[in-house]
Structure 1
Amino acid sequence: MKPAPFQEDNFAEEFIDLDLSEAEIVSKEFEECTFINCDFSEAQLRHCIFDDCRFLKCNLSVVKVDGSRFSNVVFEESKLSGIDWTKAAYSEILLDAPFTFINCIVDYASFYGLTLQSMVIRECKAYDVDFRECDLSGADLRETDLTDTLFRNTNLSGADLTLAENYTIDINVNTIKGARFSRYEALTLLEGLEITLVD
């Protein structure tokens, strides 16, 4: 494992072009830090704290987040494939969604069973993501490609899926009251009703 160039506590730092692939980063705290064009692929982020941080153009594919806590963390134009977000630590009381993903790749991720009210996954590629048993009420999923993503017993009340595409959401086993969908894509919501649509 590579040593990580961080202090125990890091405040308002800017980290650029760091190669931390396969690094082990343990018990570090980051507050209001910015990471630009950093490679965290296959790194282990264990028992770290990220508060009000921003990741721009970073590679975090297959990162391990065991016991780490995220609060109001923004990922932009970053790659985050293959992350099991259920391994992170979550507060009992969430004032803000822990994550915001904008124009990112979040394929093959698991959020199974998490409470992620008002989370933002906007303009993203989110293939084969597990949202089963999640509370995504008020979430922003606009313009996101949700090919093969799993929704079951998922609370999507008040969620915004405007211009999202390629989703399969069975209205019999998910809650969608107050959710917003684009008219054409919303026709897929009728697939589980065993009805025939006629022009």
Structure 2
Amino acid sequence: MIEWNGREFEGEDLRDEDFTEGELRDCKFVNCDFRHAEMKELQTHGCQFVGCDFSGALLNNSVHHNAAFVNCQFEAANLFVTELKGCKLTGSSFVEAVLTGVTIAGGDLSFVNLRSQDLKGQKLRGVRFVEADLYGCSLEKADLRDADLSRANLAHTKLSGADFRGAAMDGVPFENMDVRGAKLDMEQAVLFARAHGAKVD
């Protein structure tokens, strides 16, 4: 079982490493290849992954504390019941990734690609989604209170029952949103009305 502390890697091919049930602390990985890697039940603490490729990786039931996954690829990766606690995922892409049962507790998901992902019922209070691509996502009954959704793409998202109260939504194109059944605060309701041509004094 891998137990690494404070190690650094750059441009390494780590596809053959078995990270199952391993533990990584304060490690740094830059432009490393984790494609199809076995990473089930891995635990990371304060690690940095920059420009790494996790396409097809098996991250089922892994737990990540205050980790940074910056500009990483998770295409078709399996993150079933993965826990992301206070993590920074800026600029990462999750195209066709399995996110069923994932836990996102705080953190920064600005500029991420989460197109068409199912985030139904997720507790996303206070999470940063600045300029995130959430096109076509299911956010039904999600708790997005106090989140930062500035300039996020929410076109064609499913929002019934979602709670946006207190969330920053500057620059969000409300004209492309169907907010029926969603909970908005007064400021958001005014922005929505103006986006649809209403005059609000």
Measure, in 2, the Cα distance between the counterparts of 1:122 and 1:54: 19
Shift, 1:52, TM fit? 2.2
Match of 1:2 in 2: 12
Match of 2:179 among 176, 183, 189: 176
In structure 1, which of residues 101, 104, 109 is the aligned counterpart of residue 107 of structure 2?
Answer: 104
Match of 2:147 in 1: 144
List aligned pairs for 1:114-129, cutoff 5 A. 114-129=117-132
Q: Does 1:47 align with 2:50?
A: no
Runs of 5+ in structure 2 lacking a partner?
A: 1-10
Listed as ranges, the matches of 1:29-40 within 5 Å are: 29-40=38-49
Q: Residue 55 of structure 1: SS of its match in structure 2?
A: strand
AA in 2 matched with 1:67: A
Q: Report the Cα offset of residue 6 of structure 1.
A: 7.7
Q: Does 2:31 align with 1:22? A: yes
Q: CA deviation digits over 1:80-104, x for unaligned, max 9?
A: 1111211x4338xx5x3xx333331
The correspondence for 1:90, drawn from 98, 102, 124, is: 98
Residues matched between the structures, number: 190
CA contact (8 A) 1:169 1:188 kept: no
Residue identity matched to 1:163: G
Flag as ranges the 4+ runs of structure 1 deviating above 6 A: none
Aligned-residue sequence identity (percent) comes to 17
Q: C-alpha separation between the residues in 1 aligned to 2:134 and 2:34?
A: 27
- Contact 1:61/1:82, CA 8 A, preserved across alignment: yes
Contact 2:76 2:94 in 1 (8 A): no
Runs of 5+ unmatched residues, structure 1: none
Alpha carbon RMSD of aligned pairs, Å? 2.4
| Structure 1 position 79 matched with structure 2 position 88 | yes
Question: Which segment drifts farther, 110-119 or 13-22?
Answer: 110-119
Range 145-154 or range 18-27, more displaced: 18-27
Preserved contact between residue 159 and residue 182 of structure 2 (Cα < 8 Å): yes
Deviates more, 1:188-197 or 1:26-35: 26-35
- Corresponding residue to 2:67 among 51, 58, 65: 58
TM-score (norm 2): 0.82
Q: Once the two structures are superposed, what CA deviation does each residue of 1:140-195 show, in whole Å capped at 9, x if it has no partner?
A: 2221111111111111111121221125352x643323322233333222122211
TM-score (norm 1): 0.83
